[in-house]
Amino acid sequence: MTESFLPELEARFLRYVQIDTQSDEASLAVPSTAKQYDLFRLLERELREMGAQDVTLTDYACLLATIPATVPAVTLPTVAFLAHVDTAPAFNGTGVKPLVHRAYDGAPIVLPDDPRQVLNATTCPELAGKLGHDIVTASGTTLLGGDDKAGIAILMTLAAHLLSHPEIPHGPLRLCFTPDEEVGRGVAHLRLEDLAADVAYTLDGGPSGEVNYETFSADKAVVTIAGVSTHTGTARGKLVNALQLAAQLILFLPQATRTPETTDGREGFIHLYKLNGTAAVAELHFILRDFELDGLQAHGDLLRAAAAALQAGEPRAKVECTITPQYRNMRYWLEQEMRPVELALEAVRQLGITPVIKPVRGGTDGSRLTERGLPTPNLFVGAYNAHGPLEWVSLQEMAQATQVCLNLAVAWGAQSQ
């Protein structure tokens, strides 16, 4: 069955990734970049053309639609599937040129627009298991956008298939496409009463078979350092250089532990991802991540202690550390009601695939939705190496993900509330 999805998945995915939808953390607009509407409006038009109902692009930039139930029962749960339209600001997303590498033969894939970018067993060991797959990459100078346009293509293909096959038994389904997930605001404005679902799944995962019901808990931290600015010609004894103090703060923090590049598995980290400023004022932006709340608290305490030590060492400066919550580990809620996860695992098994339960070293829109009361595990989409030029997807794994969603729709159609 999955092979039949391939032509439509490929056509949709190649079409969607060529639309630049990068989000912008510095923007307070909703969505953070107007160009996200380019994809929203295309999806809105395509949903209407395929016969979806209640197609609505909200004033808070979420696109919603309904696939009506084909099972005549009023007590069936409503299931929502979500994907985000934006791509990460971390790497260039303008001018994406997708390339399909047919029936991957195991040889290195050299990306033509920057031959230094090579997919091989070193840069991506997962490729070894994808012999015969159709691999999609960008051309070397942009990200691909599989995160999360693979999820979008999967859900649009699912919708088209269900709407053209009313004989498939399923309950009411909702589709939701969100903005700004990559800057932590994907479902910040989504009204649960508008989504009108009892359970949901995000399509924003990685390798085939993965089902995620555990994510990092996350905080954001900003350390602001105000120095003392003066003319460099008469600076002796007067100048307090905020950038020099920023460098000291970084050195106060662990270098061999607690960073993304030195941790894996269930280890959390403190990640400095942006530094800007002048000798007068500098800002350091961090993300704090841990699977457990006490670990997250420890990361915040360490950063606060470093800021306090910097302040004590240079009282003429002003050092402020502000930490704000982002999202929490969805496990805390899902472990109280595991039916959404159990049905997802069974939907994977129906493909003859052994499901993989893996904690996400990151977060999804589902983390926030679950915390708000809507159980929302995350499903695989066959995407790898996100946020950089070596990003790629397997079309065959996208087809498997489409079938998993179809299996879930049928499974929930057999449930009663």
Q: Among 278, 305, 326, where does a domain finish?
A: 326
Residues 158 and 210 in one domain: yes
Residues assigned a catalytic role: 86, 181
Residues 313 and 372 in one domain: no
Residues 335 and 304 in one domain: no
Task: For residue 203, give the nearest of 416, 411, 13 by alpha carbon.
Answer: 13
Per-residue confidence (pLDDT) for residue 112, from 0 to 100: 97
Q: Which region among 5-9, 18-22, 165-169, 357-361 has the lowest average model confidence (pLDDT)?
A: 357-361
- Say whether pLDDT at 368 is over 80: yes
Residues 110 and 60 in one domain: yes
pLDDT, tens digit, for every residue of 75-102?
Answer: 899 999 999 999 999 999 999 999 999 9
Q: What CATH number did the domain enclosing 312 receive?
A: 3.30.70.360
The span from the CA of 41 to the CA of 47, in Å, is 10
Residues 286 and 300 in one domain: yes
Per-residue confidence (pLDDT) for residue 363, from 0 to 100: 83
Residues 335 and 261 in one domain: no
> 245 exposed, middle or buried (CB, 10 Å; 0-12, 13-18, 19+)?
buried
| Contact by Cβ (8 Å): 245, 317 | yes
| Contact by Cβ (8 Å): 331, 213 | yes
Q: Among 306, 326, 346, where does a domain finish?
A: 326
Residues 338 and 382 in one domain: yes
Residues 8 and 118 in one domain: yes
pLDDT, tens digit, for every residue of 179-235?
Answer: 999 998 999 999 999 999 999 999 999 999 999 999 999 999 999 999 999 999 999
- Say whether pLDDT at 2 is over 90: no
Per-residue confidence (pLDDT) for residue 416, from 0 to 100: 66
Q: Average pLDDT, stretch 146-164? A: 98
pLDDT interval class at 256 (50, 70, 90): confident
Residues 22 and 67 in one domain: yes
> 193 exposed, middle or buried (CB, 10 Å; 0-12, 13-18, 19+)?
exposed
Residues 320 and 355 in one domain: no
pLDDT, tens digit, for every residue of 39-82?
Answer: 999 999 999 999 999 999 999 999 999 999 999 877 899 999 99
- Going across the sheet that includes 79-84, the strands are 53-57, 63-67, 173-178, 79-84, 199-203, 378-379, 210-212, 356-357
Q: Average pLDDT, stretch 142-164? A: 98
